[in-house]
Amino acid sequence: MALTQIDSPALESKQRSRVREFADQTRAALKLVPDLTVDNSESVSNRAFFAFLIGLFTAGLLLLLSVNTALTSGAFTLENMKLHLAAVNDQRDSVLNQVATFSSPNNLAKAATKLGMQPQTAINFLNINGGPTK
């Protein structure tokens, strides 16, 4: 047993060195991408990133404001056109009422007598053949 106790530290050191070699080999074998560490001189500063975000946000708000203004302008134009259409429809209805009033049979008869026309007292027939009418 004394021999095994003496040889055991030597065996352990050999096993440790093999494990280290194996670990080193697996690290190298599993390394698929290059080292991607970035130097401080190459990194993008936080100020530039925040400035970009603020600029993008401001541009979005200005675009939203312009679209909203255009829609509001269109709404005012539409409302003015609706009011104009209502006024024209009222005017059309008024003219149609006047025409209906003037074209009633009583008003037509009064207008005809003012022009010197007289009502027909006898019924006459027209003969197309040119013969006398009875």
Three-class secondary structure of residue 12 per DSSP:
helix
**pLDDT band per the 50, 70, 90 thresholds, residue 91:** very high
Nearest to 119 by CA among 106, 132, 104, 134: 106
Residue 69 domain flag: yes
Residue 88 domain flag: yes
Residue 7 domain flag: no
Structure tokens at 60: 């979005």
| pLDDT for res 53 | 94
pLDDT tens column, 19-72: 777 666 655 555 567 766 666 555 567 888 899 999 999 999 999 999 999 888
* Whether the Cβ atoms of residue 133 and residue 125 lie closer than 8 Å to each other: yes
User: What is the count of structural domains for the chain?
Assistant: 1
Task: Round to whole Å and give the CA distance between 34 and 129.
Answer: 117
**Average pLDDT, integer, range 104-114:** 89
**pLDDT band per the 50, 70, 90 thresholds, residue 81:** very high
Task: Round to whole Å and give the CA distance between 68 and 71.
Answer: 5
Q: Is the pTM of this model over 0.85?
A: no
Residue 72 domain flag: yes
Residue 14 domain flag: no
Residue 65 domain flag: yes
Task: Round to whole Å and give the CA distance between 127 and 132.
Answer: 7
Domain limits for position 84 = 48-102
